[in-house]
């Protein structure tokens, strides 16, 4: 199985974040990444994920997080897919350009998009979307 991890989930993992409702987002993200890795499934990222992470973290911290996943051949970088009508999709559905690209990239890679962001529900025709806490129920 293949899972494209949205930037917000990587941030939850790194920062051990807690949601406004008290949900342990960091713990859920970390458990999801661990379970996917233990099963030998693929965690997918794209250049867009890396660029978004680089706006918040230094390169060295990102490399430190990804290194064990790369060493275990779990992490895979996939090419970015930009739909030709990306601007139209973004405008009509109220999604950012990057989020449309995340959804299209994950869908083209045959992956499930793992995110905490509810707004990705508007892009379910491009990709299957799951929250970390729903993945292993």
Q: Which residues pair with 113 in a beta bridge?
A: 4, 129
Per residue in 121-133, pLDDT tens?
Answer: 888 888 999 999 8
b/e map of 97-132 (b: 16 or more CB within 10 Å)? ebbbbbbbbbbbbebbbbbbbeebebbeebbebbbb
| Order of all β-strands in the sheet with 42-45 | 75-77, 42-45, 2-5, 112-114, 128-130
Quote the pLDDT of residue 78. 95
Domain range for 29 is: 2-135
Per residue in 78-95, pLDDT tens?
Answer: 999 888 888 888 888 888
Per residue in 85-122, pLDDT tens?
Answer: 888 888 888 887 889 899 999 999 999 999 998 888 88
Q: Structure pTM?
A: 0.90
Q: What is the CATH number of the domain that holds 47?
A: 3.40.50.1010
Number of domains forming the structure of the chain: 1
């Amino acid at each position: 199985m293949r899972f494209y991890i949205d930037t917000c989930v990587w941030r939850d993992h790194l920062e051990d974040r807690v949601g406004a409702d008290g949900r342990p987002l960091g713990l859920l993200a970390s458990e999801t990444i661990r379970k996917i890795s233990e099963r030998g499934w693929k965690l997918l990222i794209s250049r867009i994920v890396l660029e978004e992470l680089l706006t918040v973290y230094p390169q060295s911290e990102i490399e430190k997080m990804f290194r064990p996943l790369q060493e275990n051949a779990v992490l895979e970088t996939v090419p970015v897919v930009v739909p030709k009508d990306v601007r139209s999709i973004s405008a009509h559905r109220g999604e950012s350009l990057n989020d449309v690209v995340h959804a299209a990239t994950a869908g083209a890679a045959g992956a499930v998009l793992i995110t905490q962001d509810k707004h990705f529900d508007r892009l379910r025709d491009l990709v299957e979307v799951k929250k970390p806490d729903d993945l292993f129920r």
